């Protein structure tokens, strides 16, 4: 089981020296438990004591780094089965598969798309993480040439071939970039293990539909000195994904609940399998791939290899990932205060919203797309939406009145009219009483805000 704060505290020196930056060893233990501090900050412990504490703090699932420098991505590191118990760490990397039988133009275009795909949601840039080069041709030279093309890519690399000689030829080119080797099977285990040790690269263990065999081979790799292992139990989609999802969950339970050393590693899913089977259209394959990626991510997949690069397929998967890996104990919030949109003067309208990130960025997007010219007051509601903060008593007349004073908006406009969200209507009178401003109740949906402001301006004339 995961170490508690008291378990951690018992391993600390209990001197309360404060050299770690915390007021007491108990406070430091709490920070360590929340992954907000590092053991190295304690100067009162011996190396052996720190090693013991590190073991106690080690997550149920080993953290593995793929790539180096700015390309590096970390997978694994989870400690719980359910997000609400703590949170999930290290968002699942999305890896775009490119095969070595593509033409130069097709290959370069797909890699470029993988590198440049990016969109913003609630203030965070969502993008892809790695490129997987697959030896579809079965030809060593073609694979090597393909690997050369991605050597200078800004993304981490995954090398996919079951032939040890072909893998070695590729590692001679990019082995210093710490690519993920895919993969080891019961038939090439020793040769792949030797390559992983020689080049100090993480290694994927592919054992389809046989967890007993996976445990046996995982033990063999660990015994050989391989520490960074990724487990792939196979992604099977014919007849449904039920068996695959069950195996993913079983592996994670063995890691978290039983601390089985042979399963305490990240899990790989390969939704790209849809592009190797079936006769559906590309759109149908893309939809099925996205749905399967979502299912696997919800079932503990720590890394996913996908084929499709259409933005309509990627957006829902990236959005789901962002949601899953947002700490449920800490609402997403932006800084409260005064924000400006468009060209402003002393007669510009003043609007109000809350600092819940999704609310703010939705309002921001609607105001910008509508070319609105206005001031926007953002109220600190502890990261809660309008209706929730009204019910929870964070969106109050007194709080809004204080925000008006602190933001200095009265020095910028020649009026005292405040436009509040439609869902804030229940406290409109209270705001007027506390602030002395006239309150106009705006639309419930911010998409209507630009038109509301235009109409307001026309009526003022």
* Residue 4 confidence (pLDDT): 83
Asked if the model's pLDDT at residue 133 lies above 90, the reply is yes
Stronger pLDDT, 47 or 300, i.e. the higher one: 300
Confidence of residue 442 (pLDDT cuts 50, 70, 90): very high
- Within the chain, all domains assigned CATH 3.20.20.20 are found at 64-324
* Residue 1 confidence (pLDDT): 62
State the fold for domain 64-324.
TIM Barrel (3.20.20)
CATH superfamily, region 5-57 = Electron transport complex subunit B, putative Fe-S cluster (1.10.15.40)
Confidence of residue 84 (pLDDT cuts 50, 70, 90): confident
Asked if the model's pLDDT at residue 189 lies above 80, the reply is yes
Average predicted confidence (pLDDT) for the chain: 93
* Residue 461 confidence (pLDDT): 66
* Residue 277 confidence (pLDDT): 81
For the chain, percent of residues with pLDDT exceeding 90: 80
Confidence of residue 331 (pLDDT cuts 50, 70, 90): confident
Residue 74: both structure tokens together:
């970390």
Do 98 and 107 form a contact (C-beta atoms < 8 A)? yes
Confidence of residue 459 (pLDDT cuts 50, 70, 90): confident
| Mean pLDDT, rounded, for 149-171 | 97
Confidence of residue 329 (pLDDT cuts 50, 70, 90): confident
For the chain, percent of residues with pLDDT exceeding 70: 99
* Residue 346 confidence (pLDDT): 94
- Within the chain, all domains assigned CATH 3.40.50.11600 are found at 337-460
Asked if the model's pLDDT at residue 67 lies above 90, the reply is yes
Q: What CATH class has 337-460?
A: alpha beta
* Residue 345 confidence (pLDDT): 94
Residue 302: both structure tokens together:
């720590």
* Residue 58 confidence (pLDDT): 80
| H/E element, 94 | strand 94-99
Stronger pLDDT, 84 or 321, i.e. the higher one: 321
* Residue whose C-alpha is closest to residue 425's, from 388, 454, 390, 451: 390
- Within the chain, all domains assigned CATH 1.10.15.40 are found at 5-57
Asked if the model's pLDDT at residue 250 lies above 70, the reply is yes
């Amino acid at each position: 089981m995961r170490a508690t704060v008291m378990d951690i505290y018992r391993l600390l020196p209990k001197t309360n020296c404060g050299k770690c930056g915390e007021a007491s060893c108990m406070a430091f233990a709490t920070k360590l438990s929340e992954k907000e501090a590092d053991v190295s900050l304690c100067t009162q412990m011996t190396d052996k004591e720190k090693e013991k504490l590190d073991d106690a703090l080690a997550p149920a699932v080993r953290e593995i780094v793929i790539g180096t420098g700015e390309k590096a991505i970390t997978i694994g590191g989870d400690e719980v089965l359910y997000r609400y118990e703590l949170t999930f760490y290290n968002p699942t990397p999305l890896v775009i598969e490119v095969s070595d039988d593509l033409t130069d133009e097709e290959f370069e275009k797909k890699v470029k798309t993988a590198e440049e795909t990016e969109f913003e949601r609630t203030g965070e840039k969502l993008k892809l993480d790695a490129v997987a080069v697959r030896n579809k041709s079965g030809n060593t030279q073609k694979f090597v040439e393909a690997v050369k093309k991605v050597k200078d890519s800004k993304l981490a690399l995954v090398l996919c071939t079951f032939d040890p000689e072909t893998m070695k030829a590729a590692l001679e080119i990019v082995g210093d970039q710490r690519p993920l080797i895919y993969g080891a099977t019961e038939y090439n285990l020793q040769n792949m293990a030797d390559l992983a040790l020689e080049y100090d690269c993480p290694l994927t263990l592919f054992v389809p539909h046989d967890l007993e065999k996976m445990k046996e081979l995982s033990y063999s790799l660990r015994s050989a000195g391989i520490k960074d292992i990724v487990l792939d139990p196979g992604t099977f989609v014919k007849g449904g994904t039920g068996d695959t999802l069950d195996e993913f969950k079983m592996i994670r339970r063995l890691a978290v609940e039983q601390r089985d050393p042979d399963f305490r590693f990240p899990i790989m899913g390969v939704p790209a399998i849809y592009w190797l089977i079936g006769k559906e259209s590309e759109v149908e394959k893309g939809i099925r791939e996205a749905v399967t990626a979502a299912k696997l991510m919800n079932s503990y997949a720590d890394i996913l290899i996908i084929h499709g690069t259409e933005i309509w397929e990627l957006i829902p998967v990236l959005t789901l990932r962002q949601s899953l890996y947002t700490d449920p104990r800490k609402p997403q919030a932006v800084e409260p205060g005064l924000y400006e949109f468009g060209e402003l003067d002393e007669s510009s309208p003043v609007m109000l919203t809350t600092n819940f990130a999704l609310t703010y960025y939705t309002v921001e997007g609607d105001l910008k797309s509508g070319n609105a010219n206005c001031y926007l007051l953002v109220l600190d509601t502890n990261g809660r939406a309008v209706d929730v903060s009204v019910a929870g008593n964070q969106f109050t007349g007194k709080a809004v009145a204080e925000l008006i004073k602190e933001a200095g908006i009265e020095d910028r406009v020649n009026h005292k009219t405040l436009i509040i969200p439609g869902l804030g209507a229940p406290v409109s009178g209270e705001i007027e009483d506390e602030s002395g401003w006239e309150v106009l109740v705006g639309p419930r949906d911010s998409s209507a805000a630009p038109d509301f402001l235009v109409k307001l301006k026309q009526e003022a004339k």
